[in-house]
Amino acid sequence: MAKLYFRYGAMGSSKSANILMVRYNYEERGQYAVLLKPRTDNRDGENEICSRMGLSAPAGYVDEFLKEISGVWAKESGEYCYHGKEVNAILVDEAQFLSPDEVDTLSDFVDFYNIPVLCYGLRTDFLNHLFPGSRRLMEIADVIEEVPTVCWCGKRAQCNTRYADGKIVREGAQIMLGSNESYVALCRKHYKEGKLWRQKH
């Protein structure tokens, strides 16, 4: 049976690399996994997902996909195509930027079409508050898994820390798309202490 997965991790945990490898595994077996991202995510330009490791692949937007297939797929048909190919899985990167309604609609593909949906993204923002999309995924996903990464001290990193001029930023808008220069993953202790990296002696 298909399931709705939420695989979350802090900044730098290779979530995008993971989703691209999952897509590759489907393709290697002759199956089609639709690769999507929310429209909010424009860091890599339009219609592409890139990982820090250098992997990349073309991707569509979630809202366009949902609009295009709404009213086209019949729940009883048993064969569901997109761009002329039968869909075997739906993969969503940066899922924290999904709206709760989009998460609910994605869950319909699992429940009514028996298509697995795998969502990758952050769980919390730079203040350790859940993103709306992540909150909904935490509420309804069948499987919730952490993609681990580590703090500079070697402990589990769980805090997505925004910084500027070498200091932690503790106020501001929830969404500020940036590069590695503006975010770092820390353990909770060093997030609280404001220690961005190991002190040089």
Q: E strands of 19-151, at which residues?
A: 33-37, 48-50, 56-58, 60-61, 81-82, 85-86, 89-92, 117-121, 143-146
Strand order in 159-164's β-sheet?
Answer: 167-168, 159-164, 183-186
Identify the bridge partners of residue 106 per DSSP, sorted by sequence position: none
Q: Which residue has the tokens 């086209």?
A: 72
Q: Which two tokens stand for residue 2?
A: 């298909």
DSSP label at residue 116: -
Query: Which residue from 129, 105, 127 is spatially nearest to 119, judged by alpha carbons?
Result: 105
* CA distances to 54, 64, 72, 82, 113 from 68, in Å: 30, 6, 8, 9, 16
DSSP label at residue 74: -
Candidates 48, 64, 68, 94; catalytic one: 94
> Has 94 been annotated as catalytic?
yes
The residues assigned a catalytic role are 94
